[in-house]
């Protein structure tokens, strides 16, 4: 089987939120009169932006035996035989989730979340649609959001092939 890859780009909502938050930080930077508080603010948010950007996946790949989440700083690999189920959620409801660690807004959604409907979940979504909930045997639950909605169909077919073999 060949490797299937889907990019992960920001949708309009997350792009708009990122631009508005960045603009507010720039305005705040120029409103603060003292140099050192301004420097601390700039350093803090620069590090924050770099860390968040580096952990949000830019693409998702299905290899012969794994689902791979590729981010600038790390790569998460989940073996297909580790995945017990995958469910297409479609348009995710971000507001019914409680963030326990991570970020929502800047570059999308990343981190650990809790949902009364799903439970604990690791969220890697740069967009608010095409959400796929992945249940693993030992690594918990993941939500990913590839750009291509047919990525879910390919994942499902590979999971079925994996279970038959």
What token pair was written down for 11?
């949708």
Residue 142 has pLDDT above 60, yes or no: yes
Top pLDDT among 137 and 161 is at: 137
Residue 108 falls in which region: left (phi positive, over 0), alpha (psi -120 to 50) or beta: left
Tell me the whole-structure pTM to 2 decimals: 0.86
Q: pLDDT of 92-120, one tens digit each?
A: 555 588 889 988 888 989 999 998 888 99
- Predicted confidence at residue 93, as pLDDT, reads 58
> What average pLDDT is seen over the chain?
89
Distance separating alpha carbons of residues 45 and 113, to the nearest angstrom = 22
Concatenated DSSP letters of the chain: ---EEEE----HHHHHHHHHHHHHHHHHHHH--SHHHHHHHHHHHHHHHHHHHHHS-SEEEE-SSEEEEE-SS-EEEEEGGGEEEEEEEES--GGG-EEEEEEESSSSEEEEEEETTTEEEEEEESSSSSEEEEEESSS-EEEE--S-THHHHHHHHHHHHHHH-
Q: pLDDT of 52-70, one tens digit each?
A: 999 999 999 999 899 999 9
What domains can you pick out in the chain, each with its CATH number? 4-164 (2.30.29.30)
User: What mean pLDDT do residues 9-29 have?
Assistant: 90
User: What mean pLDDT do residues 68-89 have?
Assistant: 94
């Amino acid at each position: 089987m060949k490797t299937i890859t889907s990019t992960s780009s920001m949708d309009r909502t997350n792009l708009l939120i990122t631009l508005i938050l960045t603009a507010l930080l720039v305005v705040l930077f120029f409103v603060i009169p003292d140099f050192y508080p301004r420097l601390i603010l700039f350093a803090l948010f620069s590090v924050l932006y770099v860390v968040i950007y580096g952990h949000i996946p830019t693409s998702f790949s299905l290899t012969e035996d794994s689902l791979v989440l590729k981010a600038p700083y790390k790569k998460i690999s989940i073996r297909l035989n580790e995945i017990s189920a995958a469910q297409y959620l479609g348009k995710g409801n971000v507001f019914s989730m409680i963030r326990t660690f991570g970020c929502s807004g800047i570059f999308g959604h990343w981190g650990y979340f809790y949902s009364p409907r799903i439970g604990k979940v690791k969220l890697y979504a740069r967009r608010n649609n095409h959400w796929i909930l992945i249940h693993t045997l030992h690594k918990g639950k993941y939500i990913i959001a590839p750009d291509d909605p047919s990525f879910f169909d390919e994942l499902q077919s590979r999971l079925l092939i994996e279970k038959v073999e």
